[in-house]
Structure 1
Amino acid sequence: MGKYLNRVTSLFGRDTRGLLEGGRHALLHTRTLEFDELRPYVPGDDVRDIDWKASARSGSVLIKRFVSEKHHKVLLVADAGRDMTARTPGGERKSDVAGQVLGAIGLITLGRSDEIGMVYGDARGSVNVRLRRGETHIESMLHRYHDSDADRGPSDIVCQLEYVATHYRHALLIVVVSDEPDVDDRLADVLRRLAARHDVVWAMVADRPAVAVGPEGGYDVATGRPVLGSAATDAKVMAAYERAEQRRRQRLRELFTEHAVAHVTIAASGELRRRIVELTGVSSRAG
């Protein structure tokens, strides 16, 4: 493996079995007549696949696992804008954590020979990497994402999502990797368009709290200006800011729920495997 996939493997591990397969904990349901193996039943599995004889012998409910005839088509949609130069609560660069998320999804698809592509960029436009298979292709995508550090414009993940909504017609599993997006009419409209055709999941890289960095609070990486300035020392201002943040996050959760967008927030590389497993705990129709 190349350096980026090796880095992801050191955090995520090599065992990717089951993360895109079967039952409620899958991003795609597929079914063939070619038997592969037995595995424990997971709530949400199709009861038609229960092997009752094997279950009786083992004393636990077992499911017949089948070899899939079809593979996923996975599209990574990544923010490569200036917002990703900010820091996470643990001090990591957000783009580094985002790269680990992209690589982890790549590792999962690699084990299944799934097709995977990527759309990344900023407010100025999007770069499209066509869907392909293989380790070399995934390593190249990760290299291109990390190489975008050299020229970052303002972040606008909706710009990348609008590109996908316009140019990708076949049903896909879309994995969005960004920070927490602003809830506005543009985001709501593009999610409506995407959800009508694709399955969308979203991994958000957490920001360091604006009220917890330095004597004047955190700063906006897009403008270089303090978020709260000298008011960060005022307890009433900080309390009002926290309430506003809670309302914003609630609106975001409601929007994701409305459009069936599974989502997680990742605060550190150490959470990578746990959060990706959590993200894959959904049913899907993409393929």
Structure 2
Amino acid sequence: MGSHLDSARQFFGRDTTGLLDGGRYALVHTRSLEFDDLRPYVPGDDIRDIDWKATARSGHVLIKRFVSEKHHKILVIADAGRNTIAQAPSGERKRDIASNVIGAIGLITLRRSDEVGMVFGDVRGCVDIRLRRGETHIESMLHRFHHHTTTDPAPSSVVTQLNWVAKHYRRPLLIFVVSDEPEIDDRLGEVLTRLGAQHDVMWAMVADMAAVGSVDDDDDGYDVVGGRVVMGGATLGPHVVEAYRQAEFQRRERLSDFLTTHGVAHARFSGSTRIRAGLTAMTGTYARVR
């Protein structure tokens, strides 16, 4: 594998079994499945899937496990603007976590031979990489994303990328948005409504490092978007620090409710070590609500 996929695999691992298998993810609503293996019966399983010969031989009720033989068409929409320069709570650059998330999605598609493409960019516009299969294609996507985020990107505007996809992609897709935590406004709500009517959408949000640390923190922060210094917690004092924490908690709650209302399964990533747990939780939530 290339260096970018190797980095993603370091955090995500090799086992992609079960991720994106079956159900609505196939985007074709038929029971068109291929046999995978056997497992013990549990209450609620479809009795049509019982393998009676294997059950008789083993003395235990065994169920045939299937995977979808339909290949997904997956599109990653990624912010590659200035917001990605900032640090995440783990201390990593947000662009590196985003790249590892995208790489992990690519690793999932390799086992299934899914088609994957990407639209990324900043406020100036979009780079549109069409859907294809294979390791070389995914590594090339990651290389182009890395190059964009490390060569003086313009201000971020993920709504620009979302609107591009809503206008130019008509056939149903499974969409993964990879960006920081978006600001709630009418433009975001409108484009998510349009996308949700045509596609299935999930959102992997890369978190910012807290703008204000503890009351013992003498170090000032820095706003990569505005270029301003953010005073440390020791300077601001305990009342301001606590007010900031409460405001951040409420902001995240509002954002989660907003995305849920628009049918967008989502997870927040504070660092690369959380990628596997975050993607598993996000896809699991999506499967349940569908």
Q: Same fold (TM over 0.5)?
A: yes
CA distance in structure 1 between the partners assigned to 2:233 and 2:244 by the alignment: 14
Cα offset, 1:156, TM superposition: 1.0
Is 1:47 matched with 2:46?
Answer: yes
Instruction: Please name the residue that 1:225 is paired with.
Output: 228
Maintained 8 Å contact 1:27/1:285:
no
Instruction: Please name the residue that 1:132 is paired with.
Output: 132
Report the TM-score when normalising by structure 1: 0.88
CA distance in structure 2 between the partners assigned to 1:132 and 1:285 by the alignment: 29
Show CA shifts across 1:30-67 (max 9, x none): 63264342245689x87265316346746466343145
Is 1:192 matched with 2:196?
Answer: no
Cα offset, 1:227, TM superposition: 4.1
Q: Say how many residue pairs are matched.
A: 282
Q: Say which is worse superposed, 185-194 or 52-61, in terms of deviation.
A: 52-61
Cα offset, 1:274, TM superposition: 1.5
CA distance in structure 1 between the partners assigned to 2:283 and 2:234 by the alignment: 41
Maintained 8 Å contact 2:124/2:154:
yes
CA distance in structure 1 between the partners assigned to 2:14 and 2:113 by the alignment: 15
Show CA shifts across 1:249-274 (max 9, x none): 12211111111111111111111211
Cα offset, 1:151, TM superposition: 2.7
Percent identity reads 53
Instruction: Please name the residue that 2:287 is paired with.
Output: 283
Q: RMSD between aligned alpha carbons?
A: 2.7
Report the TM-score when normalising by structure 2: 0.87
Instruction: Please name the residue that 2:263 is paired with.
Output: 260
CA distance in structure 1 between the partners assigned to 2:18 and 2:218 by the alignment: 47
Residues 211 and 51 of structure 1: is their aligned pair in 2 closer, same or farther, counting only changes over 3 Å?
same
Instruction: Please name the residue that 1:73 is paired with.
Output: 73
Residues 79 and 248 of structure 1: is their aligned pair in 2 closer, same or farther, counting only changes over 3 Å?
same
User: In structure 1, what residue type is equivalent to 2:85?
Assistant: T
Maintained 8 Å contact 1:231/1:237:
no
SS in 1 for 2:198: coil
Maintained 8 Å contact 2:204/2:266:
yes
Q: Say which is worse superposed, 239-248 or 132-141, in terms of deviation.
A: 239-248
Maintained 8 Å contact 2:4/2:139:
yes
SS in 2 for 1:160: helix
Please list every run of 5 or more consecutive structure 2 residues that lacks an aligned counterpart in the other structure: none
> Which runs of structure 2 are paired with 1:1-287 in the superposition (5 Å)?
1-22=1-22, 27-28=25-26, 31-32=31-32, 34-39=34-39, 47=46, 50-51=49-50, 53=52, 54=54, 57=58, 59=60, 62-66=63-67, 68=69, 70-148=70-148, 149-212=150-213, 215=218, 217-227=220-230, 233-281=236-284, 282-283=286-287
Residues 51 and 162 of structure 1: is their aligned pair in 2 closer, same or farther, counting only changes over 3 Å?
same
